[in-house]
Chains A and B, each alone.
Chain A
C-alpha cells in the first residue's frame, strides 16, 4: 500500500481543499487502446465532510469520474493517474495500487457508491433484508448489530424498517426502493458516499424529498458526499461546492453560491440560463446552441470553443488551464472576465423577494 503524505499543489488541481479525503490527480480513462478519452486528465480534491455536486450533460464523463474514485471503471476502460484516499486516522492509500482483496474491502466500507436505477441494483428474487445480511456477511461485519443499524438508517429515511426489510424490491415504490438502496450503501458506515444520478427516474417531489433526507444523513453521520447529476438546480439545494464537467474534463469548480451567482465559464452560464426555472422571465430562457463533442474528436484548444460565443483564436489553439477567479473559484476559460460581463444570467440569484419560498402562506 503506497503511503503518501505530501500535499503539493502542482497537479493543476482547481480546488483549495485543506483537509482532503479524496484527491484525484491527472485521472485519465481511455478506451480502444488510448484512442478515445472519456476522462481527460481530471484533478480534483474532495474536502472531508463536504457535499460536492458534479454537473454535466449526458456523455460528459461524469459517471466515469464517479467510478474512478473507486477504481471501478467498467472493462475494457483503463484508468491511469492517482487517486489518493486519506483515512480519518491520518494514513493515506493510493486506490489504484490496492490489491483486489484490499479494493473489495475499501469499496463500501470506506467509500460507498449508489448507482442510478435502484430497481436494477437489487436482486429481484431476494428480500431487501436479505441484501443487508448478504452485505454484512461479505464484509465480515456483525450481522445482528448491522441489522440494528440498518433499521435506524431506514427510519432516518422515513421508511418502516419491518415492512421494508420483509419486502421484495418490486413490492416497494420507486422512491422507497431508492431510499432503501441509500440505507444499504451506508450500512457498513463508510466515510464517503458517491452517488451517480441517485434520483433519476423519480418524480420531482420524491427527488427533492430524498435530497432533504440526504442532507439530514450527512449531518447525522458526518458523511462526505459526491453527488453526480445532469440536473444543476437539483444538486444546488444540497451541495457546498459544485463542479461542472464538459467534454470529459472539469471546466469550473466553485462554492455553490459562487458558481450559481458569479460563474466565469460561458458553458456554466449557458447551462444556468437554459434551466427552466419558476422565477426566470420566460423570454430569456435559452437552449445551448450546438452539440458537445464525441470522445474521439475532442477539439484541440478549449473543447467548448466551437459552441462558445466568446471564442477567439487563442481559445481554439490553447486548451485553457484553471484560472483563479475568486475565493475557492477556478475556471478553465481564457475569457472568464468577459464571460461574466457579457453573458447575463436570466434569474435573480440573490434577490430574496424573487425566491417565492414562502408564498402560498398568505391566504
Chain B
C-alpha cells in the first residue's frame, strides 16, 4: 500500500479500504520443548496458514470448522489480538502491527485500532471480573473513551444500554455481581461492554455456544439488532453450521469454512449451504442436526476417518485428502487454491475445475 501524503488523500484512501483486510496471513506456534529436545527443530503448529480475507463496513462473516481448525486464531488475528508470523493485517489500510511497533508512517494510532476492534468470549463467566458489580464493569470502557463524562451521565448511559440489550429493569441488574446473573445475562453484559467502546468490528468467539439451545436464537437476534443500531461488523465463530447460517443469512453476510488452518470455502451463506463446493463443507452439513425425520437417522458420515490429523504434520497436498470420500491421488500431490468469482462463492477443491487432472487420477484407497 502507498502512503498518501496529505490528510485528504488519507481520508479517501480510508473510505475505499476494507475495514479489516488480511493478506496471506500465517500464524505458526512453536510447541513447547522438553529439556532433552533442546537442540532439535521445534514442532510447529500451523494454526493459520496463508489466509487472505476482507471484512467490510457493516459486514457479517461467520467462521465454521472443527475444534483445532484455527478459526479462533484467525478471528483473534483479524482484530489484532494475535500477531501473525507472516502476512499482514490492515485496519482501514493501516497495518495494525506497524502501528503497534511504530514502524513506517502510522496514519491511525494503535490505541484507536485497539478500541475499534472488540471481542466477546465464549465463557462470559470468566470474562467478567467476579469482584465488580455490573455497573462498575460497564463504567470502565466509558472512563477510557470519554473521561469527561460524569458519574450520573455514565450511569444513565449504562442503564439505557442494559435496557437496550433486554435487561429490564436496568436498576435491578446494575448493582449485581456477575455470579448473580444467568449465562445469557452475563453474555449480554459482555456484549454491552464491547459496544460501549463504539467498535467497528466485534469478534464473537463461540459467544453463544455456552448458552442453552433455546437462548441462542435470542442472543443472535440481539446481536443482529445491535449491528443495525450501532453499524458494527461481526466476525462470528461457531462450530455449528446452523447457527452460522442463521447469523450470516440474517446479517446478509458470508460463511467461511476452515480446515486445518486453511480457508477451504467462503461464500454467501445461503449459496454455500445449498451448493457446497468442498467435500468438507458437506461433512459439516452432515454433522448439523436436522429435524427432518428422513435424515434424522445416524447415517454414515461422508468422510473416511473421524479424527482430525495432527496439525504439526498436516497431510500433503489438499489437507483434507486423508478423510475426503472423493480423494484421488492428485489430491495428495498438490494443494488446490481457493477459486471462484471475486467477492463471491469460492472453494478450494479440484472438483470445481472440470478440466483438472484430478478426474483422470486413480481413487485413493486407505
- A: which residues have CB within 8 A of B? 57-58, 158, 173-176, 202-209, 211-212, 214-215, 230-234, 236-238, 256-257, 260-261, 270-272, 274-280, 282, 285-288, 291, 347-352, 354-357, 359-360, 363
Contacts and interface: CB of A to CB of B under 8 A. Distances in A.
A173 B68 contact: yes
A226 B262 CA distance: 39
B351 to A, nearest CB: 6
B5 to A, nearest CB: 48
Contact of B307 (A57, A173, A236): A173
A261 B214 contact: no
Given A58-B212, A211-B298, A355-B292, 9 more contacts: A174-B67, A204-B288, A206-B306, A212-B299, A271-B213, A274-B217, A277-B289, A277-B290, A356-B290
B285 A206 contact: no
Contacts of B289: 204, 208, 231, 233-234, 236-237, 275, 277
Interface string B266-310: 000000011110010111111111111111111111100111100
Contact of B293 (A173, A212, A261): A261
A363 B354 CA distance: 10
A158 B213 contact: no
Interface stretch (B29-37, B93-101, B107-115, B240-248): B240-248
Interface in B202-239: 212-218, 221, 239
A238 B213 contact: no
B39 to A, nearest CB: 24
A280 B52 CA distance: 32
A57 B214 contact: yes
Given A204-B239, A238-B298, A287-B217, A279 B290 contact: yes
Nearest to A58: B212
B284 A205 contact: yes
A153 to B, nearest CB: 15
Contact of A203 (B239, B276, B282, B292): B239
Given A238-B298, A261-B293, A279-B292, A205 B239 contact: yes
Nearest to A205: B287
A205 B307 contact: no
Contact of B298 (A58, A212, A360): A212
A326 to B, nearest CB: 16
B213 A274 contact: yes
Contact of B214 (A236, A257, A274, A348): A274
Contacts of B243: 276
Contact of A278 (B182, B273, B299): B273
Contacts of B308: 173
Nearest to A272: B291
Nearest to B239: A203
B291 A236 contact: yes
A349 B292 contact: yes
Nearest to B216: A276
Nearest to B326: A363
A363 B305 CA distance: 23
B291 A277 contact: yes
A202 B67 CA distance: 8
A359 B291 contact: no
Interface residues of B, number: 54
A277 B242 contact: yes
Contact of B250 (A158, A280, A282): A282
A175 B306 contact: yes
Given A276-B242, A355-B295, A287 B215 contact: yes
A237 B298 contact: yes
11 contacts: A57-B214, A175-B306, A233-B289, A234-B289, A256-B293, A260-B296, A282-B250, A287-B221, A355-B292, A355-B295, A360-B285
A256 B299 CA distance: 16
Given A158-B307, A212-B298, A233 B290 contact: yes
Contacts of A214: 298
A286 B295 CA distance: 23
Contact of A349 (B213, B215, B293): B293
A58 B276 CA distance: 34
B218 to A, nearest CB: 4
B47 to A, nearest CB: 15
Contacts of B57: none
Given A58-B212, A234-B289, A285 B276 contact: no
A352 B296 CA distance: 11
Contacts of A57: 212, 214
A276 B217 contact: yes
A206 B214 contact: no
Contacts of B292: 279, 347-352, 354-357
B291 A275 contact: yes
A158 B306 contact: yes
Contacts of B307: 158, 173, 175-176
Interface string B8-26: 0000000000000000000
Closest 3 CB pairs of A and B: A233-B289, A287-B218, A357-B295
Contacts of A261: 293
A352 B294 contact: yes
Contacts of B54: none
Interface in B15-71: 66-68
A309 to B, nearest CB: 15
A270 B296 CA distance: 19
B249 interface: yes
A213 to B, nearest CB: 8
Contacts of A287: 214-215, 217-218, 221
Given A276-B217, A277-B242, A208 B287 contact: yes
Contacts of B246: 276, 282, 285
Contacts of A277: 242, 289-291
Given A276-B243, A285-B217, A359-B285, A230 B291 contact: no
Contact of A363 (B245, B287, B351): B351
A230 B293 contact: no
Nearest to A232: B213
Contacts of B306: 158, 175, 206, 209
